Structure 1
Amino acid sequence: MTVPDTFRPAGANPTLRAAAMVVTYAFLIGFTDNWVRVIAAEGGLWQFHATRTGMAAALLFLLARPLGLSLRPRRPRAVLARSLIHAVAMVIYFGCLAFLSVAEVAAGLFTAPIFVLILSRFVYGHPIGPFRVLAVLVGFAGVMLVLGFGLRAVTPAMVLPIVAGLFYALGNLATREWCAGETAETLLLGFFLGLGFFGLIGMAVLSVWNPEVAEGTAGFVLRGPVWPSSAFLFWTFVQAAGSLLGVGLMIRAYQVAEASRVAVFEYAILPMSALWTWAIWGEGISLSAVLGMALIVFAGAIIALRAR
């Protein structure tokens, strides 16, 4: 996804441009993800993913020709595998949003850089120095604080965001190791199609199984297909459009500036999510969660900067 030169300010600092794009991405994602609880109150996780994929894919195909996007994969099997891995991460992520705040779930997802380091070392044999080992320890401590481990009873919903971070890390490694040379829009389309595939499978299984489902957000994961209301369709479309625009900005940021610097800005999603949660729902975060976010950002900065 490229931007014509006529839209680039002459002499603009590429790092500042990238920072503006990433902050806008964080602003959009922090806002749209906070409305998943509205979707979860009446719809199901699987129907949400299937519907959102249909909307996002339609938007992407409509934009492909005007923007000159290439959606055909060079290595279909590699793109398929990467898409399914990332889709698993996002299914877990969005499932958790019905039970935890966006900031808490995002904190678990941002264990991904930590898992990337660990997997790079023990799977691919890449060395990691003492600074990045320190970053792993600091980052995990931050996640524990944000999710409240040791401060409240541990529940599966608290552990699952970290599992999402693990799968997201596997997807990031797949992007680097298997999908070099693929266009960003191809990977983006594959990501949405993977989510849509899981959504359709989940809807089919729940239509046959038809389990007893709790009312409201508690039934989000086990709720089968229902007739969508205007609110469900509206907020799902906001999710689809916001994700496309936000991820497009993120991709562009990595194209215009050094990746290690952009990765640090990406952690803006944590405070931005907390800010939107407070603005929309009036829910604040604890001092320990603020400290945990600071530790996660610090760990991410070490990992990114040492990646040079």
Structure 2
Amino acid sequence: MQDIATRPLSAALFMIGAMLIIGGIDNVIVLLAEEIGLWQFHFTRALVAIPLVVALSVIGLGTLRPRRWWAVGVRSGLVAISMLFYFSALALMPIAQALAGLFTSPIFILIITALFLRQKIGPWRILAVTLGFMGILLVLQPDPSNFSWVTLLPMAGGFFYALSAISTRTLCAGESTVSLLAGMWVTLGTLGAIGLIVLQIWPLDSAPGSEGFVTRAWVWPIWTAAPFVLIQAFGSVVGVFMIVKAYQLGEPSQVAVFEYSVMIFGPLYALVLFGQTLDTLQLAGIGLIVVAGVVIALRARGSGT
């Protein structure tokens, strides 16, 4: 098997920069969810993003044509499913809770690589998984007496995001970053179009405001939501380009820890823009999640115990 060169410092810088961008633009979802639906959002955002990705190829940042279509297709599908769950959660809960659920992904990465890629897991990383899970519970604060499936949305996103992160490194390491971006946007746009068609044929009752985000059909005009779609499109192209680059340059279990920086950036933007605050238990939970990620990354560099 050909050895894949790693550049851990470059991977870390790419990931932190991406999280700084994404922590900001993901906060606009709560605003556009008041006006349009999930499927229209992904479809219209893809219409803006795809030409931007083509422009990246034109200026020489990578080819649009994948080396292995099937590998890029698998990864694109996994990312798209992850984003459907995550953005649904963003519209229905504070960003800190949505991010906490999504950031089950490093835990899932560790479990998947251990079970299927035969990576050894020792007591330290078992402890990290336990701490991370406790942190997620503190941030999400699920109520057993009033359980809602909404709580599981970001965790489902985290599971599929973990699969996409592993596939980026193991299946798509030799692919152009631009081709991976193009595959993701085409897939998201296609799923958005399919969702709109389904809702047109079989319309569902849609609650007003953000609660109707997932079930809302095509809305026109969308002038109020359009600026937020544009912000999301431009920011996502840059941010996701940097994420893909990070996972191509570093090992998934090591790179994933730097994604935790969005747990700082996202809630900080939310505090400034919307006055969203975290209680003491949620702050403690974020701390446990970060500690878990650091332990996972450090042990991945060492003996794996």
Does the TM-score normalized on the shorter chain lie above 0.5? yes
Alignment-derived partner of residue 27 in structure 2: 34
1:51 and 2:34 aligned: no
From 84, 103, 106, the counterpart of 1:91: 84
Tell whether the 8 Å contact from 2:77 to 2:187 is kept in structure 1 after alignment: yes
Q: Does the CA-based 8 Å contact 1:138-1:299 persist in structure 2?
A: yes
- Counterpart in 2 of 1:284? 277
User: Percent identity at matched positions?
Assistant: 42
When the two chains are superposed, the root-mean-square deviation of aligned CA atoms in Å is 2.2
| Distance in 1 between residues matched to 2:250 and 2:75, nearest whole Å | 25
What's the CA shift for 1:255?
6.8
User: CA 1:211–1:255 in 2, change beyond 3 Å: closer, same or farther?
Assistant: closer
Deviation, structure 1 residue 260 = 6.5
Q: Which residue does the alignment assign to 1:140? A: 133
Match of 2:167 in 1: 174
What's 1:193 paired with?
Answer: 186
Asked if the contact 1:45/1:199 (under 8 Å) is kept, the reply is: yes
- From 117, 122, 125, give the equivalent of 2:118: 125
- Name the CA distance, whole Å, in 2 between partners of 1:181 and 1:164: 25
CA 1:151/1:269 → structure 2, altered by over 3 Å: closer, same or farther? farther
Q: Is the 1:114–1:136 Cα contact (8 Å) retained in structure 2?
A: yes
The whole-number CA distance in structure 1 between the counterparts of 2:295 and 2:273 is 32
Letter in 2 for 1:179: C
User: In the alignment, what sits opposite 2:54?
Assistant: 61
Name the counterpart of 1:207. 200
Corresponding residue for 1:6?
none
1:152-171 pair list within 5 angstroms? 153-171=146-164
Quote how far apart the aligned CAs of 1:251 are: 4.3
Partner of 1:101: 94
Residue by residue over 1:232-273, the C-alpha shift from the partner in whole angstroms, topping out at 9 and shown as x without a partner, is 221111101001112233445567788776543321100111
- Residues 62 and 177 of structure 2 are in contact (CA less than 8 Å); yes or no, is this contact kept in structure 1? no
Give the Cα–Cα distance (whole angstroms) in 2 for the partners of residues 150 and 213 of structure 1.
25
Q: Is 1:24 the counterpart of 2:26 in the alignment?
A: no
Alpha carbons of structure 1 residues 218 and 254: separation in structure 2 relative to 1, 3 Å: closer
In structure 1, give the amino acid aligned to 2:76.
Answer: S
* Aligned residues between the structures: 295
Bigger drift between 264-273 and 38-47 goes to 264-273
Kindly tell me: are residues 178 and 25 of structure 1, through their superposed partners in 2, closer, same or farther at Cα, counting changes over 3 Å? closer
TM-score, normalised with respect to structure 2? 0.89
